[in-house]
Structure 1
Amino acid sequence: MGLQVLLYWPNIIGYVRIGLVFAAWASCETPAVFVPLYSTHIALDGVDGWLARRLGQTSRFGAWLDVVVDNLGRGLLWSLLFQWGWLVSALEWCVFVCNHNARGDHWKNSFITSPPFIQAVMANGFRTPLGTWVVSGLHGLPLWLYGCRWGLLTHWLGLPLWIQALGTVLLAAGRLLALSVEIWCVWTHIKYLTDDEPEEKNN
């Protein structure tokens, strides 16, 4: 396989997504440009995995790149929204390190011994109602909050305030569910690291 994996079509989509993230960052003060760019970046997240399976072009690099691009995009947006937004990004990068270090490129399917709730969230690679809710919270909440900040939900979509509030609550709940999984991943990785520590021999 070698370096030719870098030119797999799903990975090329990943490079396009990186370009979209930086283009969105450059236009963050112009919602009419930012929203289409960032939304396309999110939409393509579902395309690369499907294309990889369709073309038989799954790879360890592709699995790694997919999460890197996801974290890059969300980290950008959280940092734009709040001064403390970098904390959310830092946690997501920490979870990325934990999962890919201990679980490898098949990390999404490596939770069969996890508590039932964690298994329910991760089942079928997030392709369940609960998993969709969690992913919607991960990707959708920061973009939704961006829309609230710039008044886009009112001026563009004409959503009444109660729907905006309800959407915020639902997406925030999905993000909190994701947070519970993230904390569990970090904790289990700490246990993994400490369990592997050799016991000191008594002299």
Structure 2
Amino acid sequence: MTFIKLVTKPEESPVYICPAINVTHKEETVTLDAPAAEAERSSCDMGFHIFFFVPNVIGVDGWAARRLQQTSRFGAWLDVVIDNLGRGMIWNMLYEWGWLVSSVEWCVFVCNHNARGAQWKNSFTESPVWVRAVMAKGFKTPLGILTIAGLHVLPVWLYGYQYEVLSQTLFVPNWLQILGILVLTAGRLLSFAVEMWCIVTHLRFLIDEEEEKKN
């Protein structure tokens, strides 16, 4: 999006114009003063465009591949890599500490696929009850759906909230935006708990393996 600087009197602050397109595709002009222009620039540049990446981020690509029977071990690996990259980029755009969330997800990816491959979802038979409840039927339970929604949808929802895509473009009421954040955050915390269990379990496996070699 291009910002146009308007010529003003020397003693006045310069004024910038950011063209914005509404849902009826009619162009309207929003006038901003100089300090606000820079803050608004990123919103105008990115805006609704992030939602073109939603199918990858929320896993629609993997679902479509399974429905079309176009699956393979490499495809399963690539699907997770693309999902992690997409979510990682969004988290890093939102917060300075977003890389921490992405780092945990990559650690879990390494732990699970290193030992279990594409069938990692079906290999939690000896896990705690609460982990099995999340993983049951390939996440196709209320608890599993909440967990996956927190993992995949929360960063997109936060992006829409922070850059006002939910309110200005999709006209989602503010109370529903807040409720969505709370519910999705609960799901993400549950996902984080499962992620930490996976990491700790893998570390224990590595330690036990080293001790067996010594003996």
Fold shared per TM-score above 0.5? yes
Deviations 1:58-115 (A, max 9, x none): 3211111111111011001001111110010011000000001122220011011111
Question: Structure 1 195/68 Cα, relative in aligned 2: closer, same or farther at 3 Å?
Answer: same
Q: Give the equivalent residue in structure 2 for 1:51.
A: 65
How far apart, in 1, do the equivalents of 2:57 and 2:195 lie? 20
Task: Quote the residue 1:30 is aligned against.
Answer: 46
| Cα distance between partner residues in 1 of 2:60 and 2:161 | 25
Distance (whole Å) between structure 2 residues aligned to residue 124 and residue 177 of structure 1:
17
Query: Partner of 1:142 in structure 2?
Result: 155
The alpha carbon displacement at 1:31 in A equals: 1.4
What percent of counterpart residues are identical?
53
- In structure 2, which of residues 122, 146, 152 is the aligned counterpart of residue 109 of structure 1? 122
> Cα RMSD (Å) of the superposition?
2.0
Partner letter of residue 201 of structure 2? T
Q: Report the Cα distance in structure 2 between the residues aligned to 1:125 and 1:29, rounded to whole angstroms.
A: 38
Q: Which amino acid aligns with 2:65?
A: L
Answering whether residue 144 of structure 2 is matched by residue 128 of structure 1, we say no
Please say if 1:40 is aligned against 2:47.
Answer: no
* 1:170 alignment partner, one of 158, 183, 198: 183
Report the equivalent of 1:21.
none
The structure with the larger Rg is 2
The 5-angstrom pairing of residues 75-114 of structure 1 reads 75-114=88-127
- 5+ long unaligned stretches in structure 1: 1-26
Gaps of 5+ in 2: 1-42
Q: Which amino acid aligns with 2:175?
A: W
State the 1:158 CA deviation.
Answer: 2.5
How far apart, CA to CA, are the structure 2 residues paired with 1:76 and 1:126?
A: 24
1:139-169 per-position Cα deviation (integer Å, ceiling 9, x unaligned): 1111111111111222123233222111100
Q: Which has the higher strand share?
A: 2
**Which of 171, 175, 200 lines up with 1:158 in the alignment?**
171
Q: Which runs of 4+ in 1 moved over 4 A?
A: none
Return the alpha-carbon distance in structure 2 between the equivalents of residues 110 and 61 of structure 1.
19
The question of whether the paired residues in 2 share the 8 Å contact of 1:103 and 1:110 is answered with yes
Higher helix proportion: 1
The Cα of 1:54 is off from its aligned counterpart by 4.5
State TM-score, norm by structure 2.
Answer: 0.74
